[in-house]
Amino acid sequence: MSQRANPFGPVLTAMVTPFDEQLALDPGRVRHLADHLFTTGTDTLVATGTTGEAPTLEHDEKISLWRVLRDHLTQTKRGKLIVGTGSYSTQATIQLSLEAQNVGVDGLLVVNPYYNKPNQEGLLRHFEAVAEACNLPVILYNHPGRTGVSLEADTVKKLAQHPRIAGIKDSSGNLAFVSELRANCPNDFLIFSGDDPLNLPILAIGGDGVISVASHVAGIQIRQMLEAFFAARNDEALQLHLDLLPLAQGLFCAPSPAPVKHALNQLGVPVGGVRLPLTELTTTQQTQVEALLTPYQAVTR
């Protein structure tokens, strides 16, 4: 299958937020992690999303993190930066999105409004309001398991007509839904897998890339899988996907991002711990995650 034009590349990483030993934002570790990700296959960083512990970050911490990343990417001339700005409030989402635009990020990831469970008309108007207020590409983020509400295909079809709504990260686990999107949205509307165990299936029904957690550890192998798929080397792509499956599943043995942060710390990419209400892994969970890392030690140290 040929690739659609995609300004963000096929490998996007849902980046963890590195903390120091006191769980404060650590700019040095942020830069180190960014370098690690770009070196191992990432095209675009996606900061302050779920994996970035956005709900635990203060407003000023988000701005500081974005500035550190924007400056570092400018200095190193590597990759692009998308940031998560979505919340349950449309006005708050617009305000944070405008602040992200002022920092100079390359795009916005906007999650379904959570907790208050809007209907489809509310979702439609929410995303349209954000896209109208900003001049950046907007990636919709559909994750019903976390937000309690799901975009419907007809709603996404309408949103996809907006010139600044560029695509969707889908974490619904619903391949029929993704198929409907590919069948009914414009050809240039980008579809990203937001669930590593479904990366290859979503590519097979018209996906354009991944917004991955596992790419923190296995970015090289994920890129190899994508390249094999787009070059129609289907058996190779399938084998790489199956080889990655234990890692993709194991990194969710506890609430994310605790497992992937533990993995990075073990692999010599220090990112610190997680903030409450998340907790560190149990000894059993640590052993489980560490057992998955052997194939990836050589490329990350």
Is-catalytic flag, 157?
A: no
In this structure, what are the phi and psi dihedrals at residue 34, rounded to the nearest 5 degrees?
Answer: -60, -45
Query: Which one from 62, 80, 88, 169 is the annotated catalytic residue?
Result: 169
Q: Which residues pair with 201 in a beta bridge?
A: none
In this structure, what are the phi and psi dihedrals at residue 42, rounded to the nearest 5 degrees?
Answer: -75, 140
Cα 155 to chain center, whole Å?
22
What does the alpha-carbon distance between residue 69 and residue 31 come to, in Å, rounded to a whole number? Answer: 7
Is-catalytic flag, 141?
A: yes
Contact 166, 190 (CB under 8 A): yes
Query: Which one from 62, 141, 261, 296 is the annotated catalytic residue?
Result: 141
What does the alpha-carbon distance between residue 50 and residue 29 come to, in Å, rounded to a whole number? Answer: 19
Q: Which of 168, 170, 177, 249 is nearest to 213 (CA)?
A: 249
Contact 91, 21 (CB under 8 A): no
How many CA within 13 A on the CB side of residue 81?
Answer: 24
Q: Which residues pair with 12 in a beta bridge?
A: 44, 211
What does the alpha-carbon distance between residue 145 and residue 85 come to, in Å, rounded to a whole number? Answer: 19
In this structure, what are the phi and psi dihedrals at residue 73, rounded to the nearest 5 degrees?
Answer: -65, -35
Tokens of 156: 């996404």
* Eight-class DSSP state of 296: G
CA distances from 30 to 12, 13, 101, 220, 278 (A): 16, 14, 20, 20, 20
Contact 220, 41 (CB under 8 A): yes
Active site residues: 141, 169
